[in-house]
Structure formats: C-alpha cells, structure tokens
Amino acid sequence: MEKAIHLIGEVARHTWAVLGEMAPWVLGGFAVAGVLSLWLNARVVREHFGGGRFGAILKAVGLGIPLPVCSCGVIPLGASLRKHGAGKGPTAAFVMSTPQTGVDSIAVTFGMLGGLFAVFRPLAALASGVACGFAVEALDGAEPSAASLAEPEIEAETRPWWVRVFRNGFVVLPRSVGGALVLGALVSALVMALVPPNYVAEKISSPFLQMVLTLAVGVPMYICSTAAVPFALGLLAAGLAPGAAMAFLVGGPGVSASTILAVWKLLGGRATTVYVVVLVLCALGFGLLVQELVPAGWVPPGARLVDAHAHGETGLPWNVHAQAVALLGVVAWAKWGPRKPAGA
C-alpha cells in the first residue's frame, strides 16, 4: 500500500511538472494557430490545387505543414480536395504532411526536445509529403471517385477576426487535442516513474531496432503531433535512442489504423501501400539522421527540467504551477465551456 501511494505521488508530480513545462509552448502554439486560421482554413486549402499536378503537390505540402490538424481530422479535408478535382498525388501529399506537425507541435517540440527536433519535424513532413505525392502520382494514375466520402461543412466567416482567432486557437484546437495532451503527459509521467533510466537501451541496444519497434507501436496507434512530444519525452528519459524518438514523431502522428482505412477508401489500395511505405522509409531515414547528429550524452531539455522538479531537486517555481493551471483551464474551458461565443 505504501509503495502504491508513493508511485501515485511520483506519477502525479511528474505529470504536473510535464504540464507546467510544456504549457507556455502549447499556449503559444495555440495563439499562432488561431492567427493562421484566418488564412489557412479548409476553404483556402481546397481552392489552391489548380494547375499542374507537381506544382499542386508542393503547394499541398506547403499549406499542410503549419495546419494543426491530426491524422483523423485531415481525412475530411483530403476528401474535400478530391471532390474539388485535386489529383491523388496532391491529396496524398496533403494527407501525409499535415498531421505530422503544425505550429503548435513545433513550439512544444522546441521547448521539450530542443531545436534539432523542432527543425527536423517539419523537414520530415516536407520530405515525406513531397515523396509520397510524387510516388503516388507516378505509380497510380487511376482516379477512382471520392464521392462517397463526406465533405466538411464550412461556416460562413461572419464573426470579427479577433473572435475567430480566439475561438479557433483557444477553443476549437484545444477541444480537439487537449485530452490527448493531458493523456500524453500522464503516459510520459508513468514511463518516467516506472521505467529505470537507460532501461530501453539496456534491453535493445541497437538504435535501428528501437526505431523499428517504435514504428511498429506508433503506426497503428492514434496520437496527434503535439501529444506525441511528451510521450516521446518519457521514452527518451527511459533510454530510448534520439533517432528512435524521431522515427516515432514522424510515424506516430503521420498515420494510424483509422487513417490507413480512410486513405484506402479515398485513394485506393495501391496508393495506400505507397503512402505507408513512404512514411516508414522517411521515419527511418530521419531517425538515422538525427541519431548521427545528436551528441553523446544528450538529454532533452524537457526531461532534465521535469526530472529535477518532480524529484524535488529544485522544486516547482510558482510560474510552473501557474502555467499548468492555465493549460488545464484552457483545455477544460474548450471541452466543457459554451459551444458558441456570445453573439455568434
């Protein structure tokens, strides 16, 4: 009983520390995403795919990378692209690149894992999206109908710009990813509390085999790009190689079992096979690259701070407590507060 109480206390301390440390980056990302939503919304996305196919692939990836949309949320947008005449290549490129990263997840990645990961995540989304689009376009020119897939409804933009920024950034987005963020922090805390340091490295010493293992776990599961960060942080604290964490950050958010089924319906079997193969190869490639670039003895900044706070080495300063409260407050308001702003 005493051990159980101690474990619960350790998990609670780690969870609170993770939430407090990542809160400024999450909230800042929400704010930027809210501003971007004034321009990069569903209507803009589906209206910019005219002209040549290869140009449309590049445009699809460029529009998709900053959008804070998860691997399930991107499917209705992909269906809308197909309904409005986008080819398989641009659609595959958009569906591939969009869920891997967004302005919110880049901010959280920088704060918790450092600049190298924050730079390589959007680069991986760019490379995999372009590669997938070109491969699908080259190998699967058939164009089956996407008429059976539902198109998302788009509200008329009648509200003031500042209302839309606040609502999209601090209500719509947190409602979508807030629960996953809190769960990711809890999972990270559980790993930190239960798994001894370097346990993963001692059991599986090969970084490449660790990459394969994380992809085997990450590809079928559903996890959004922002919530993947604390999850990866916990694995790194348990001894996962940096390259394996990078592979997980590409493969986990980039696809899930539900995404594979939806892409199959949207683009067909051959394109779906290309989609999965390209994602796995890009995840492994960027994992190997990060593994070569990260210096020996590297510790992610988030793990260092969270571990020190949770174990009482420095204690949690008041601002970290306030940050955790603010983040949980935003998530709670988004999930259980009023569904429409006043006067909407």
Residue 226: which of 108, 112, 54, 60 has the closest Cα?
Answer: 108
Residue 169 pLDDT grade (very low, low, confident, very high; cuts 50, 70, 90) = confident
The 3-state secondary structure of 113-178 reads: HCHHHHHHHHHHHHHHHHHHHHHHHHHCCCCCCCCCCCCCCCCCCCCCHHHHHHHHHHHHHHHHHH
The pTM assigned to this predicted structure is 0.77
What is the spatial distance between Cα 227 and Cα 73, in angstroms, rounded to a whole number?
Answer: 15
Residue 7 has a pLDDT of 85
264-294 tens-digit pLDDT: 877 888 888 999 999 999 999 999 999 999 9
Q: For the residues 42-67, what does the mean pLDDT come to?
A: 74
Residue 14: pLDDT above 70? yes
Residue 18 has a pLDDT of 84
Residue 153: pLDDT above 70? no
**pLDDT, averaged across the chain:** 81
Residue 219 has a pLDDT of 77
* H-assigned helices in the chain: 2-36, 42-47, 53-64, 74-83, 88-97, 103-113, 115-139, 161-167, 173-194, 199-203, 207-218, 228-237, 242-254, 257-267, 269-293, 301-310, 318-336
Residue 311 has a pLDDT of 54
Residue 253: pLDDT above 70? yes
Q: Which range is most confident: 4-8, 90-94, 246-250, 340-344?
A: 246-250
What is the spatial distance between Cα 204 and Cα 200, in angstroms, rounded to a whole number?
Answer: 6
Q: Where are the domains of the chain?
A: 2-336
Q: Within 10 A of 337 (CB to CB), how many other CB atoms are there?
A: 12
Residue 73: pLDDT above 70? no
